[in-house]
Homo-oligomer: A and B are copies of this chain.
């Protein structure tokens, strides 16, 4: 009923079949197109994904893709769903912190494996199957806590946002060779030191004397921030009791 109002891509992703129809058989499924596009994006960033390149990858004309996908945005939807795949089951860990942490780690791993995800223009909230599974699993992490459903949604979105944000800051770095990334970091620090002079930017400058990296993406930074986020949620939980 309601599902018939769904955009065609979502129908395809959810496997809602159109009845068998006359005419030649389609040569592939949207998923195949998604796979080809993901392959290109993994190799060359989202910019490397064009209709013609995807079509070439599949050995097909550009316009053939439009038999499977109404517009390029639809292709993005498919790519996202495929790239996320299924989350790990949070399962049996007793502690909600432990559960949401594995979820966050898996989320981060997906973003690091496919850094282009963060560049996909977001036009609508997610409705594709795998994304809903991630959502379900994220919410399940807060089972057996006094949080209300709305609380849980907020908490999960907070973690979601945090992971996207921290990974995003270093996302452009992820797509380059490590020594180049390190060089870029050094260069940034050098420039920042040159511009953020102690007279006009005392507070920034105060941090620049510190030995360590101060701005960026070593893995401990991830857990440091995540801890802070989870501490905030902990406070919320305590308050709900």
Contact = CB atoms under 8 A, between A and B. Distances in A.
A228 B233 contact: yes
Contact of A158 (B133, B136, B162, B193): B162
A135 to B, nearest CB: 6
Interface stretch (A29-37, A54-62, A165-173): A165-173
Given A2-B191, A2-B194, A172-B122, A158 B229 contact: yes
Interface string A1-44: 11101100000001000000000000000000000000000000
Interface string A184-203: 10001011111110001111
B172 A123 contact: yes
Interface residues of A, number: 73
A214 interface: yes
A25 to B, nearest CB: 28
B231 A235 contact: yes
A161 interface: yes
A155 interface: yes
A146 B196 CA distance: 23
A212 interface: yes
Given A127-B191, A149-B210, A210-B149, A161 B158 contact: no
List the 4 closest pairs (A to B, CB-CB), nearest first. Answer: A161-B165, A232-B232, A149-B207, A231-B235
Given A143-B203, A154-B224, A165-B165, 12 more contacts: A1-B194, A2-B191, A6-B194, A133-B201, A136-B200, A157-B165, A157-B225, A158-B229, A161-B161, A161-B162, A162-B165, A234-B235
